[in-house]
Amino acid sequence: MTELAGRPVLVVGAGIMGSGIAQVATQAGHPVFLYDTRPGAAQGAVRTIGAALEALAAKGRIAPEAARAAVARLRAIDRLEDAADCALAVEAIVEDLAAKRALYREVEQAVGQGCLIASNTSSLSITALGQGLRNPGRFVGMHFFNPVPLMKLVEVVSGLETDPAVAAAIEALARAWGKVPVQARSTPGFIVNRIARPFYAEALMLLQERAAEPAQIDACLRGAGFRMGPCELMDLIGHDTNFAVTQSMHAASFGDRRYVPSAVQRELVEAGRLGRKTGRGLYEYRDGLPVRTDRPSFVPAGPLPECPVSVHGRGPVADRLADALRHAGRQVVRVRESGWVGVGVESAELRLTDGRPATCVAGETGQRDLAVFDLPIADGAGALAWSCADTASGSWRTDAPAWLALLGFEPIEIEDTAGLVVARTVAMLINEAADAVQQGVCTAEAADLAMKLGVNYPAGPFEWLDRWGAGEVVRVLRNLDALYRGERYRASPYLLRRAWTDGMA
C-alpha cells in the first residue's frame, strides 16, 4: 500500500471543510495543494490558513517556525495537473453526487495510478460516488467534522468497492494527523449522523404531542449530561440542514418509519424559522443569543409526611434512591422483588419510567396515586422529567415532585407521555447504535468513540447500554412501540439478543 507520510496531498474545495483539512495536512508535514473552481477561493483559503497558524503561534500553541514551515508547504493551484505527484486527493466540494463524480474523473486524469482519492461527503453513498472511477478500489470516505482542526473524529468510510488496504492506509494517516479514526461501512448517515437521529426526532415527537416545551426538553437532556439539548442544538445547526439530513436518511432507507421526518420541523422550515441564523427557531434570538425566560426553581408546597418509605426494585437507580432517602434522614424499607423501580409512600407510588405513561400504569395496576419519573442516567443531580397519572389526587400531585426534590433532582413536570424525555431518547440512541452494529456499519467501540468525539455525547450508546441493561432498554422500547405502533420503536435484533442472554445469566 502507498506510504502516505510526508507525501503531497491535494485538497479540492477550499470552503469551510477543505480549508480545515488543508491546515491539518500541512501541519502534519505534507506539501498541500489547494484547488477550487471559484476564482481566488484557493488563494483566499491559503491566506486564512496562514493567519490561523500565525494566531496559534502567537498563542504559544505551536512554534513560530512550525507555523512558517506549514504555511510554506501550502500552495494554491489553478489546474489539477499541478498536483500530478500527490499521493492523496481529498475532495471537499459541494454536496452533489453529479458534481463530485465529474470531479473524480478529472482528478483521475491528473494524478498517478497510486494516488488515493477520498471524499469528505457527509451524506452521499461512497459506493455510489465511487461508481465511474476507473479504479473504485482506491476511493474511500474521509469524513471530518467541523471545525476540522479542533474535532478529533474522522469516519473512514468504505464503499462496496473500497480496497480494505486503502481504508487501513487512511485510518493510519488520520491517526498521524492527530485524529481519532473509526471505520464505517457506507450506509446512510455513516455512524454519527445516523445514530444521532433520535436525539432530534424524539424531541420533535414530544413537541408534536405538546408533551413539553423546548426549554423543558433541553433542561432534561442537559441534566442527563448532554452539553446542549436537542432544541437548542437544532436551532444552532439550522432546521433546514437538520430537516434535509433527516429527509435524506428517510429516503435512503426506502422510507423506513424509524426516520420519518417531523411535521413540526417542516413547518419551522416553511416559516423561515431556521434557528439562530434567522433569529428565530424553537427559541428566539436577539444579537445571536437566545431570549430565555428562566424557569422558576421548584419550591415544595409544604412538608412531606414523616412516614417510612419503601424503595422498590434492584439496580443502580433503586440503590441511588435508597441512599438519597437515608441521607435525608428517612427510614427506608427495601422491596427488591416488586418488579418496578421507585418509591412507595403510604398508598402512593413514584415509579421510574418503563416506557408507559403514568396513567397507563395506574390503569393497569389500579394504583390511582401514581407518578412516573425519567431515567437519571447521569450521576449528578439535575433536571428530571416526571408526570402524574390522570387519576392522582391533588395531594399526590404536590407531593410527588417534592419527593423527587428530596431525592436530589430538579423536578420538571411534563404531560403524561410515554418514556418521558431522557429514557426514550437514550433508548432510541442505543437502539440505533445497536442496529448499526448489527448491520456491520461499525463496531460497538467505534460507535461509542464516534458519538463522544463527533457530537460530544457524555457517554457512548454501548456504555449506556452496559449501565442500563439490555432488558430495561428493550422494555422501554416495547412499551413505546405498544403505544405508538408502526416500526419506529421496534427493538434491534442485536438488543433483543443481548436481553435474552442477560435473562439467562
Distances in Å between the Cα of 235 and the Cα atoms of 230, 231, 240, 289, 414 are 8, 6, 10, 11, 22
HSE, side-chain direction, 13 A CA sphere, residue 255: 1
Residues 7-66 that bind ligand NAD (CB under 6 A): 12-18, 36-38, 41
Q: Which of 55, 99, 263, 335 binds ligand NAD (CB under 6 A)?
A: 99
* Least Å from the CB of residue 118 to ligand NAD: 11
Q: Please pick, among 91, 155, 161, 171, the residue that the annotation labels catalytic.
A: 155
Cis, bond preceding 303 (omega within 30 deg of 0): no
Neighbouring C-beta atoms of residue 306, cutoff 10 Å: 8
Instruction: Collect all residues with Cβ–Cβ distance below 8 Å to 377 and sequence separation of at least 6.
Output: 224, 225, 422, 426, 459, 464, 467, 468
Q: Which is nearer to ligand NAD, 5 or 99 (CB)?
A: 99
* Least Å from the CB of residue 158 to ligand NAD: 17
Grid cell for residue 74: 501550502
Q: Which is nearer to ligand NAD, 126 or 429 (CB)?
A: 126
Q: Which is nearer to ligand NAD, 12 or 473 (CB)?
A: 12
The interface region with ligand NAD, picked from 87-95, 270-278, 340-348, 485-493 by CB under 6 A, is 87-95
Q: Exposure string (b/e) for 164-176, b if CB count within 10 Å is 16 or more?
A: eebbbbbbbbbee
Q: Strand pairing partners for 410?
A: 383
* Least Å from the CB of residue 121 to ligand NAD: 5
Check residue 95 for interaction with ligand NAD (CB under 6 A).
yes
* Least Å from the CB of residue 347 to ligand NAD: 54
Q: Please pick, among 30, 125, 143, 312, the residue that the annotation labels catalytic.
A: 143
Q: Which is nearer to ligand NAD, 146 or 501 (CB)?
A: 146
Nearest to 282 by CA among 265, 305, 301: 265
Check residue 92 for interaction with ligand NAD (CB under 6 A).
yes
Q: Establish whether 95 is a catalytic residue.
A: no
Q: Got the DSSP string for 221-236?
A: HHHTT-SS-HHHHHHH
Q: Please pick, among 19, 119, 120, 122, the residue that the annotation labels catalytic.
A: 122
Q: Which is nearer to ligand NAD, 129 or 422 (CB)?
A: 129
Nearest to 132 by CA among 158, 109, 152: 109
Task: Give the position of cell 500530478.
Answer: 84
Q: Establish whether 193 is a catalytic residue.
A: yes
Q: Which of 23, 121, 187, 417 binds ligand NAD (CB under 6 A)?
A: 121
Q: Which is nearer to ligand NAD, 146 or 365 (CB)?
A: 146
The interface region with ligand NAD, picked from 108-116, 118-126, 330-338, 485-493 by CB under 6 A, is 118-126
Report the SS3 class of residue 397: helix
Q: Provide the terminal-to-terminal Cα distance of the chain, rounded to the nearest Å.
A: 46
The interface region with ligand NAD, picked from 92-100, 244-252, 267-275, 385-393 by CB under 6 A, is 92-100
Q: Please pick, among 120, 193, 242, 492, the residue that the annotation labels catalytic.
A: 193
Q: Which of 5, 63, 64, 146 binds ligand NAD (CB under 6 A)?
A: 146
* Least Å from the CB of residue 400 to ligand NAD: 43
Check residue 93 for interaction with ligand NAD (CB under 6 A).
yes
Q: Establish whether 122 is a catalytic residue.
A: yes
Count of residues near ligand NAD by CB under 6 A? 22
Neighbouring C-beta atoms of residue 482, cutoff 10 Å: 13
Q: Which is nearer to ligand NAD, 95 or 413 (CB)?
A: 95
Distances in Å between the Cα of 474 and the Cα atoms of 256, 376, 423, 424, 481 are 20, 17, 11, 11, 10
What residue is closest to ligand NAD based on CB? 15
Check residue 130 for interaction with ligand NAD (CB under 6 A).
no
Check residue 122 for interaction with ligand NAD (CB under 6 A).
yes
Check residue 450 for interaction with ligand NAD (CB under 6 A).
no
Q: Which is nearer to ligand NAD, 91 or 432 (CB)?
A: 91
* Least Å from the CB of residue 14 to ligand NAD: 5
Q: Which is nearer to ligand NAD, 121 or 310 (CB)?
A: 121
| CA–CA distance, 53 with 355 (Å, rounded to integer) | 51
Check residue 315 for interaction with ligand NAD (CB under 6 A).
no
Q: Is 436 exposed, middle or buried (CB count within 10 Å of its CB: 0-12, 13-18, 19+)?
A: buried
| CA–CA distance, 33 with 21 (Å, rounded to integer) | 11
* Least Å from the CB of residue 99 to ligand NAD: 5
HSE, side-chain direction, 13 A CA sphere, residue 321: 28
| CA–CA distance, 130 with 135 (Å, rounded to integer) | 8
8 Å CB contact between 422 and 224: yes
Catalytic center residues: 122, 143, 155, 193
Residues that bind ligand NAD (CB under 6 A): 12-18, 36-38, 41, 92-95, 99, 103, 120-122, 144, 146
